[in-house]
Amino acid sequence: MGAFAEDRVDSIIELLDLAVAQHGHRPALIMKPGFRTRIWTYARIADQVPRVAQVLRGTGVQPGDRVLIWAVNRPEWGISFLGALWAEAVPVPVDVRSTDELVTKIAAQTGAKLMLASMPTLKAASRLELQSLTIESLVDRAQAAAPLPRPTVDPDALAEIVFTSGTTGDPKGVMLTHRTPARQSCIRPASRRRSWPAPSANARSRCCWRCRRS
């Protein structure tokens, strides 16, 4: 993968390369459901992401399509997000606490092609008349999928759309390029049990790649 400098990383895909180059088989995501501990290393995530992208393509997602992510905080959230980027789609994270009405507005504004839900949000997501898939099943299905070839990423192209809460009016989307979150992130190996936070407009941390805030 060669040498990287964090200040020259121009996309989240390159940030994933950097994470693997620096930390490889060290833990990136750790979750303890019940009595067992599940660990995803940086290398494992990098292997899964192109396979998740292939599954997304199989659902009909094409470059530029908007993919809503309305799911709870768990490692599959982050892997699905990265997979959507690898598939050249545009993820639209939705706060897991959002109402059906708000998510319906966001889906309509973005022209979403697919909803990535989780088991706790799937019932609500199914009411939106939008093709839905859980992040848990997406990552499971990816195990047997062939990896999608690496995309060519324009750092100034649209990467994701982040919406405000909409509590005081219609939700407003902030359009972020690939370069923006990549330059605002740093990499830290997981040192305790954590999973990937399902972000809102006010919660922009990403797993172990935590946004720098002054």
98 found inside a domain: yes
Q: What is the pLDDT of residue 193?
A: 40
Main-chain phi, psi angles of 175, to 5 degrees: -95, 120
Partners of 29 in beta bridges: 40
Q: What is the pLDDT of residue 36?
A: 86
Measured between alpha carbons, how far is 56 from 168 in angstroms, rounded to an integer? 34
205 found inside a domain: no
204 found inside a domain: no
What tens-digit pLDDT sequence spans the chain (214 residues)?
A: 444 444 577 888 988 998 899 899 999 988 887 788 889 999 999 999 999 999 999 999 999 999 999 999 899 999 999 999 999 999 999 999 888 888 999 999 999 999 999 988 999 998 888 999 999 999 999 999 999 999 999 999 999 999 876 566 677 899 999 887 655 555 555 444 444 444 433 333 333 333 222 2
Report the CATH number at residue 40. Answer: 3.40.50.12780
Q: What is the pLDDT of residue 32?
A: 82
Q: What is the pLDDT of residue 180?
A: 74
190 found inside a domain: no
* The two three-digit tokens of residue 138, written as one number: 């997406």
User: What is the separation, in whole angstroms, between the first and last Cα of the chain?
Assistant: 31
Q: Are strands 132-134 and 173-177 parallel, antiparallel or unpaired?
A: unpaired
Q: Tell me how crowded residue 124 is: count the other CB atoms within 10 A of its CB.
A: 16
pTM here is 0.82
Measured between alpha carbons, how far is 188 from 135 in angstroms, rounded to an integer? 24
49 found inside a domain: yes
Asked if 131 and 167 count as a contact pair (C-beta separation under 8 A), the reply is no
| Model pLDDT for residues 62-106, shown as the tens digit of each residue | 999 999 999 998 999 999 999 999 999 999 999 998 888 889 999
169 found inside a domain: yes
Partners of 124 in beta bridges: none
* Count of domains for the chain: 1
59 found inside a domain: yes
198 found inside a domain: no
* The two three-digit tokens of residue 35, written as one number: 């009595």
The domain of 44 spans: 6-183
Q: What is the pLDDT of residue 182?
A: 58
Partners of 67 in beta bridges: 91, 114
